[in-house]
Chain A
Amino acid sequence: MSAKPKIAFFDFTSCEGCQLTVIDALQTHLGLLDLVEIVQFREAMSEKGEDYQIAFIEGSCTRKSDEARLLKIREQASAVVALGACAHLGGVNAMKNSWSIENVQTYVYGKNGKDAYESYPARPISAVIKVDAVIPGCPIDRREFLRIVQLMLQGRTPRLPDYPLCVECKLKENACLNTLGKPCLGPITRAGCDAICPTYGDGCEGCRGWHPEANFEYMREILRGHGLTDYDIDARVTMFNHYQMQQMAGHAPLSATTVPLKDDGIPMSTFAAPQEE
């Protein structure tokens, strides 16, 4: 019987680390290849099929031409899964939304960069197409990927934990970093990664997005208690969730106040730009 569901992987603006995590998941679960037929996975294979039912999309939408590609995938796929923080939240890509596109283009590519690079503010793919399931994280957690794929193959609707990361951290009997004076966004972040960053001694950075009842004011109070300024706190909560914080506040956080600008909003420096010929 050839009723194996056909799945395809697509990448938009991202580091492709989530697809690599999928490849890593196969290290221990090679049997997954018996259950599905992968028809497109550019990073791992040359063959290309367009008759997929489940589309996994890694990466954010960061330019006009991404929209048509996303719509085409949506039209073909019966289920679209956002793979990782870039697709789910906008992720690190959205940090650039603090500035105008001309500002970042000029800084990185010089005065010719403006015309040569198509780009606009980064968004999660759900801002363009309907998304049926999300596998959060930067990168995704490989066990969660396997669990969600398993549920989808059984025709069930995967659900994400709706409680904070702190629950998992407590279950692991980690010492609470916030009580040790180390900033951690665990109290407002959606659980599901088994609190991997606090377990390795580093405070949560919110890559899985906020849980539904996140208390931002109380989080700010905790962080102020560590001596963080409001600017530091904004920097912390916008690393993966710039797009979300912008939606909530109605303006782009951390906008250019620290970067010297010319009158037209273009940066004074083009430190990263190439020499012009």
Chain B
Amino acid sequence: MPENIRVNVHHVTRVEGHGNIVVDVRDGTLEKCELQIVETPRFFEAMLRGRPYQQASHITSRICGICAVGHATASLRATERALQVELSEQTKRLRRLAFHGEMLDSHILHVYMLVAPDFLGVGSVIPLATSHPDIVKRALRMKKFSGDLCQAIVGRHTHPIAMTVGGFTHFPTVQELEALRERAQELLADVDATVELFGALPWPTFERETEYVALVQPDDYGFIDGRIASSDGYELDVDDYRKVTNERLVPHSTAKHTAFNRDSYMVGALARFNLKHQHLSPRAKAAASHLGLKAPCYRPYLNSAAQVVEIVHCVDDAIRVLDMLIERGVEREAPAPVTLAPHARGVGACDVPRGILFHEYQIGEDGLIEEANCIIPTGQNLANIDRDMRALVPTILTEPEDQIALKLEMLVRAYDPCISCSTHFLNVEFTGK
């Protein structure tokens, strides 16, 4: 085993946001192994103070260009729960469709453009367009559908326009929904081809059991609202989210970490799969078994495979929801009314592509936001990524340094870290010994 290894991947590429990986082995001992976040802090929570509640979802969608619908939805749920707003079934269905659009867009971007190049031996999706044009064209077709789904419901994916407190400011026509329904049906061939492609990839076999946390709903593989569940057997109301996230500054790494029952936990597609795979659509269940996913799965690299399973599920569920909306027709409902009260608090929770996202607001009787807190999925995964890297590195130390770096980068990418999500990261200067 080599005595001294220093791996420093500066600005991990093909992740959304800025992060560095640092591995430091001295005299055969792993001294340091961590993912550092070098993203600039943006202070969204501080900026929300004093803003009218109607602006919150439009401001916070700007936290992340990829999870824009997710942030807007969590923000609206926080406001709506604070202001006692009851949503109509139609509003819930339309939001569900917009959410599926984003889930698909994000997962397709991640598995095809950010993960696949690692397995196909190219630096990025751009040479892939020449070496594997069919794959890239398929990915772009699927992304186009996701974008068009969001566009029909909320105007655009980044940043959604028509979602508002209590409902929508714009409604798709039944004809538009029928056209989407038809395209979703046609897309199933691409969905099957996606499962084939990723089913054939040699996923690294590294495994480490950890605690998995996701939102759960009765009889549903849903993404909006629900209760917080853990693979260690706990279930909590979303209002108690702080008991789960326990955000804290940790001395060894400078990013804020979270911990529930153990010293780290994992959120995202694999956590959701582990906690509620029984509610996947039949086609998604078949995809999971084709991809070699069986719950409980402890292989973090397979988070990307779980995303493929969710791609299948979201297309299936989008078809189901489109059918319901087409059958009932779309009414131009006015947004549901709000009730203002002094210091009203509400928590909004959604399982966005990378895991659970929490927004919590306190809104004054004047409608101005008094307090705000947002906890993003990548922040919750950071401690777990560090622990995975610490477990992985000793098993690959004999490999060349570029291989170690690649495997670590692939591990970090598997978590699909969205570290542009501004909130709660420290700016880090590396001070090696």
Contact = CB atoms under 8 A, between A and B. Distances in A.
Interface of A: 11-21, 23-24, 26-28, 30, 33, 38, 41-48, 62-63, 66, 91-93, 95-96, 98-99, 103-105, 107-110, 112, 116-119, 138-139, 196-197, 199-202, 205, 232, 235-236, 239, 254, 256-259, 267, 269, 271-272, 274-277
Nearest to B258: A274
Contact of A21 (B62, B125, B158): B158
Interface stretch (B11-19, B83-91, B223-231, B315-323): B11-19
24 contacts: A12-B40, A13-B40, A16-B64, A17-B62, A17-B158, A24-B147, A43-B13, A44-B113, A44-B125, A45-B125, A96-B46, A109-B426, A118-B40, A119-B40, A139-B159, A197-B155, A197-B161, A200-B155, A201-B170, A202-B162, A274-B424, A275-B246, A276-B248, A277-B250
B362 interface: yes
A197 B163 CA distance: 11
Contact of A38 (B126, B144, B154): B126
Contact of A271 (B40, B58, B256, B362): B362
Interface of B: 11, 13-17, 40-43, 45-47, 49-52, 55, 58-59, 62-66, 68, 109, 113-114, 117, 123-126, 129, 137, 140, 143-144, 147, 154-156, 158-159, 161-162, 164, 168-170, 246-251, 254, 256, 362, 368, 370-374, 420, 422-424, 426-427
Given A28-B144, A274-B256, A108 B420 contact: no
A85 to B, nearest CB: 9
Given A17-B65, A20-B65, A254-B50, A277 B251 contact: yes
Contacts of B123: 45-47
A100 B426 CA distance: 19
Nearest to A92: B62
A27 B140 contact: yes
Contact of B46 (A92, A99, A200, A257): A99
Nearest to B245: A274
B80 to A, nearest CB: 17
Contact of B49 (A93, A107, A196): A107
B197 to A, nearest CB: 19
A39 B129 CA distance: 15
A62 to B, nearest CB: 6
A42 B423 CA distance: 21
Give the top 10 A-B pairs by smallest Cβ distance, nearest first: A17-B65, A45-B124, A201-B169, A104-B46, A200-B155, A272-B45, A274-B247, A258-B50, A17-B158, A271-B371
Given A46-B124, A258-B368, A232 B52 contact: yes
A116 B373 contact: no
A48 B248 CA distance: 35
A71 B129 CA distance: 33
A274 to B, nearest CB: 4
Given A118-B427, A119-B41, A110 B14 contact: no
Nearest to B40: A13
A199 B158 CA distance: 16
B244 to A, nearest CB: 13
B154 A116 contact: no
